[in-house]
Amino acid sequence: MKILVTGGTGYVGSRLTNFLKKEGHDVSTLGKVSDADVNVDITNFDKVSKAVRNFDAVCHLAGKIGAKDSFEKPMEYFLVNSVGTLNVLEAARLADIKKIVFTSSLAVYGTPQYLPIDEKHPTNPKSPYGYSKLVAEELCRNYSELYGITITIARISYLYGPGQKNLLIPTIVSQLKEDKIVLSNLDFKLDYIFIDDVISALSKCLERDKSDVFNIGYGKSTSGKEIIDAFSKILGKKLNVEVTDPKKEDEQVMNIGKAKSALDWEPKISMEDGLRKIIETA
């Protein structure tokens, strides 16, 4: 299959591109960086339209991430995540591309009304980032219904893996050699999924011939304290941790039963195994 991966040089996109190439696919990357095969900003429709041609499928990963920053730059997030997705969809329609995989986020759900969160859970984002992804999802549904494009939406939970920056796990790793690890908060429980499991899920999404939406997570929540305990077990020593801003936060965990049954997929890498892989490559 000839596949275009937007955001193909990013953290997830580069790994997906390598995976798909190993599977025998002809893969090209699109992004606004010089090392992309096609150097194009997805907010520029004319350039996107010229670039999105002669492909069998598009994996649309390009976008801005991070709920916190989106409060300061809402227009930028909607332009890239919502309008950029519209540009990709319209370009694909004009090029008669009939298969798209779109990476969305757990953020579209907002504060959980029940746990675990399934795909029927109400969507009520609490950030411009979450809303920009939800708008993009609605555009995907519209193009699927009106133009017969098979579009699979993957709502991804809290992804982690080697080479990440700024998030909780990378922050811990960067301080492992220090006498004390300083963190703002450990009183939360989130659904963490290792990067390799995300890549295998997206590959499965590409095989779909019917539009749908799937939760892609581990299906189990892990607290910050449990992550610290896992690091301690791996390293064989107790870690000295200072928490500067302890506060109670909502638990978030996905119901991944639909993905398991319809995609024949399930996550295989436990938190301890994932953290071990991060330490080995740090």
Q: Which two tokens stand for residue 163?
A: 């080479």
Distances (CA, A) of 192 to 157, 161, 186: 6, 10, 14
* 227 to 179, 233, 239, 276: CA distances (angstroms): 18, 10, 11, 11
Rounded CA separation 201/143 (Å): 23
By three-state DSSP, how is residue 176 classified?
coil
Rounded CA gap, 22 and 45, in Å?
A: 31
User: Catalytic annotation on 129?
Assistant: yes
- Which of 77, 109, 114, 129 is catalytic? The answer is 129
Report the alpha-carbon distance of residue 45 to residue 43 in Å, rounded.
6
Contact 232, 238 (CB under 8 A): yes
Crossing angle between the packed helical segments 11-22 and 195-206, to the nearest 10 degrees: 60
Q: Which residues are catalytic?
A: 129
